[in-house]
Amino acid sequence: MNTHPLLLVALCCALPSVAPAASVIVNEINAGGASMPGDWFEVVVVGNGTAGSTVDMRGWSFRVDNNGTTNTGFFTLSNASYWSAVQAGTILTFHEDNTAAGGLDTGINIVDNFATAGWAHTNIYVGDSTYVNTSAVGYDGSFPMDEKNSQVAILDSFSTLVFGPSGEGQVGYAGSGVSATEIFKLEADPSPLITLTSQYNDGSTSTFGAPNEWSGGASRQSFAAFVVPEPSAFTLAALGLTGLLRRRR
How many angstroms separate the CA atoms of 29 and 40, rounded?
7
Q: Tell me whether residue 204 is in a domain.
A: yes
* CA angle 209–203–145, rounded 5-degree value: 65
Q: Residue 80 to residues 56, 128, 132: CA-CA distances in angstroms?
A: 11, 11, 9
- What confidence tier does 216 reach under pLDDT thresholds 50, 70, 90? confident
CA torsion through residues 125, 25, 21, 150, sign? negative
**Structural domains of the chain, count:** 1
Domain that holds residue 66: 19-248
Higher pLDDT, 12 or 167: 167
Q: Is the pLDDT confidence value at 108 over 80?
A: yes
Does the structure show a pLDDT above 80 at 17? no
Residue 1 falls inside a structural domain: no
Whether residue 95 has pLDDT greater than 50 = yes
Average pLDDT of span 73-87: 98
Q: Is residue 9 a part of any domain in this protein?
A: no
Residue 75 within a domain: yes
Taking the C-alpha atoms of residue 67 and residue 99, their distance in angstroms, rounded to an integer, is 27
- Residue 3: inside a domain: no
Look at residue 22 in the predicted model and tell me its pLDDT: 97
Mean pLDDT of 135-163: 94
Q: Which helix (H) or strand (E) holds 238?
A: helix 233-248
Cβ 91 vs Cβ 124: under 8 Å = no
Distance CA 27, CA 65 (A): 16
pLDDT above 50 for 82:
yes
pLDDT at position 237 is 52
Residue 231: pLDDT band (50, 70, 90) is confident
Measured between alpha carbons, how far is 226 from 224 in angstroms, rounded to an integer? 5
| Domain-located, residue 4 | no
Give the least confident one: 14-18, 115-119, 181-185, 191-195.
14-18
Any domain includes 100: yes
Identify whether 2 is part of a domain.
no
d(CA 98, CA 106): 8
Is 11's pLDDT higher than 60?
A: no
Average pLDDT over residues 78-103: 97
Contacts 24+ apart (CB under 8 A), 129-137: 129/78, 130/78, 130/80, 130/106, 131/77, 131/78, 131/80, 131/82, 131/83, 131/106, 132/75, 132/76, 132/77, 132/78, 133/59, 133/75, 133/76, 133/77, 133/78, 133/79, 134/75, 136/75, 136/76
Q: Look at 112 and 67; give whichever has higher pLDDT.
A: 112
Q: Which residues of 129-155 are buried (b: 16+ CB within 10 A; e: fewer)?
A: eebbbeeeeebebebbbbbbbbbbbbb
Nearest residue to 164 via CA among 198, 196, 202, 199: 196
Residues paired with residue 86 on neighbouring β-strands, in sequence order: 55
User: What number of CA atoms fall less than 13 Å from residue 46's CA on the CB side?
Assistant: 25
Contact 152, 166 (CB under 8 A): yes
pTM: 0.86
